[in-house]
């Protein structure tokens, strides 16, 4: 009875959140559409390059429906979008949905592998640093974490490519076709996030292990392992989960620099390419996709709060 009530309430909560996200998504698409049409740059001129003579420009604008009034163009997009059709890319002629779905698995692979690296390294280093506060490990790891956050990703990437790819020859320099290809980009991207996770975990853990209930747990004679991993960590994780959730959402929408440097055809590269070519349907599609990922990401983070802290109720 209780479980079924909880289950229904959870489903209701998820449905409500998803319903609320509809105006968000419409707002995002409308703002994107307005911005695309306000920012200077004709997609057809961009497509034709140096031989963009007015007659050819007009011919192709007509073809792409760009001569229609703006509201007609927007409602056409919206009408098709709700039916799952995001239109066709101006540049490739391919359906936008297909292009996004073909690219997403690569981004997903990179995002999950770098998130894995980030969480493992970040949590481990953060916990040890907190437990061994002011030790050599703490100072050293926090210095590395600071360096990790501050170092530009392209610099770390190039150094990693030169050392592990070119000099040692251990790993491929670029590409994404095998697990081996994914190690360098995942580690490079993951290290950056590991650094911030480590710093958050350390500070949250320090907060928690000074609480009375931890002293009580120790006084009860519980093993240090149990105190740290069962009593302290779970409570320290709530803000860390928020950070991880946001970062994973960010990773799922693509890491432009990493994808470019390692020649990985992910969503990040696709979005930038669409924007620089003024490929309106593809820009709309990738922005909408990004918004959906963030909406779902935030929902998952909120749901995880309830699991980590029973005091948090889904309303």
Binding site for another protein (CB under 8 A): 39-43, 45-57, 59-60, 63, 91-93, 99, 102-103, 128, 132, 158, 161-162, 164-166, 168-178, 180-181, 183, 224, 260-263, 265, 269-270, 276-278
Residue closer to another protein, measured from CB, 53 or 212: 53
Complex with another protein: residue 283 or 301, whichever CB lies closer: 283
Nearer to another protein, 229 or 307 (CB): 229
Residue 104 or 294 having the CB closest to another protein: 104
Work out how close the CB of 310 gets to another protein at its nearest, in angstroms, rounded to a whole number. Answer: 30
Give the shortest CB-248-to-another protein separation in angstroms: 23
Q: How far is the CB of 170 from another protein (least distance, A)?
A: 5
77 vs 62, 89, 217, 280, 287, CA distance in Å? Answer: 16, 13, 59, 10, 13
Of 126 and 172, the one with the shorter C-beta distance to another protein is 172
Smallest gap, in angstroms, from Cβ of residue 194 to another protein? 14
Taking the complex as a whole, how short is the minimal distance between the CB of residue 102 and another protein, in angstroms?
A: 7
Only one residue has tokens 């995001």, namely 86
């Amino acid at each position: 009875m209780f479980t079924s009530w909880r289950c229904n309430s959870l489903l209701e909560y998820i449905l409500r959140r998803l319903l609320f996200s509809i105006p968000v998504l419409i707002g995002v698409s409308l703002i994107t559409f307005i911005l695309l049409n306000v920012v200077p740059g004709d997609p057809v001129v961009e497509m034709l390059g140096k031989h963009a003579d007015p007659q050819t420009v007009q011919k192709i604008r007509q073809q792409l429906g760009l001569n229609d009034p703006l509201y007609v163009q927007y409602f056409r997009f919206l009408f098709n979008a709700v039916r799952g059709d995001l239109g066709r890319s101006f540049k490739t002629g391919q359906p936008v949905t297909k292009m996004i779905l073909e690219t997403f698995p690569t981004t997903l692979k990179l995002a999950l592998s770098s998130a894995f690296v980030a969480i493992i390294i970040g949590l481990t280093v953060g916990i040890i640093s907190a437990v061994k506060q002011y030790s050599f490990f703490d100072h050293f790891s926090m210095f590395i974490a600071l360096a990790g956050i501050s170092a530009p990703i392209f610099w770390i990437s190039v150094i990693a490519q030169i050392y592990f790819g070119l000099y040692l020859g251990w790993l491929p320099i670029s590409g994404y076709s095998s697990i081996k290809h994914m190690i360098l980009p995942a580690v490079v991207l993951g290290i950056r996030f590991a650094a911030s996770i480590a710093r958050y975990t350390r500070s949250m853990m320090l907060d928690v292990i000074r609480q009375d209930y931890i002293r009580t747990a120790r006084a009860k004679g519980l093993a240090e392992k149990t105190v740290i991993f069962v009593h302290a960590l779970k409570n320290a994780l709530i803000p860390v989960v928020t950070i991880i959730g946001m970062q994973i959402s960010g990773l799922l929408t693509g890491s432009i620099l990493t994808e470019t440097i390692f020649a990985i055809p992910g969503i990040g590269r696709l979005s930038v390419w669409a924007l620089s070519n003024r490929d309106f349907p593809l820009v709309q599609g990738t922005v909408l996709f990004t918004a959906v990922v963030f909406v779902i990401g935030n929902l998952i983070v909120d749901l995880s709060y309830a699991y980590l802290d029973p005091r948090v109720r889904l309303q």
